[in-house]
Amino acid sequence: EAQVTQNPRYLITVTGKKLTVTCSQNMNHEYMSWYRQDPGLGLRQIYYSMNVEVTDKGDVPEGYKVSRKEKRNFPLILESPSPNQTSLYFCASSPGGTYNEKLFFGSGTQLSVL
């Protein structure tokens, strides 16, 4: 089954404790992206990757890191989480190319930073 898999689904952590949210897709997609969803703010892009070893900042990259060492994986790293990073996170992928707007989203990771 074609899918984007995020782990974990739920995560509670404390301020400053490094964490990684994994994202994997099995559709051989070139483009991958991370979004966060917050009440009243909709979905905001954190980082995106056009292909392996090619990443760039989205609209809200502060406090986050990403890597794209292989095509299928795009982990989101929070080196020193803070309470304002408490949010619902989504990973997404698409085949790539111009106007390939049909993003496939994972099921989300609910992160709480205490």
Partner 1 sequence: DQQVKQNSPSLSVQEGRISILNCDYTNSMFDYFLWYKKYPAEGPTFLISISSIKDKNEDGRFTVFLNKSAKHLSLHIVPSQPGDSAVYFCAALGALISNFGNEKLTFGTGTRLTIIP
CA dist 114 and 59 (Å) reads: 24
Q: Which of 22, 58, 65, 112 binds partner 1 (CB under 8 A)?
A: 58
- Could you give the CA distance from residue 67 to residue 82 in angstroms, rounded to a whole number? 21
Contacts of residue 99, Cβ cutoff 8 Å, sequence gap at least 6: none
From candidates 60, 92, 111, 113, binder to partner 1 by CB under 8 A: 92
* Distance of closest approach, residue 76 Cβ to partner 1, in angstroms: 14
- The answer to the question of residue 94 lying near partner 1 (CB under 8 A) is yes
Q: Which is nearer to partner 1, 18 or 54 (CB)?
A: 54
Q: Strand 87-94 relative to strand 104-105: parallel, antiparallel, unpaired? A: antiparallel
Instruction: Give the type of residue at 12.
Output: I
* 41 in contact with partner 1 (CB under 8 A): yes
| Residue from the set 7, 22, 45, 73 that interacts with partner 1 by CB under 8 A | 45
Using alpha carbons, select from 27, 46, 40 the residue that is nearest to residue 90. 46
* Interacting residues toward partner 1 by CB under 8 A: 4, 31, 33, 35, 40-45, 48, 50, 56, 58-59, 90, 92, 94, 96-108
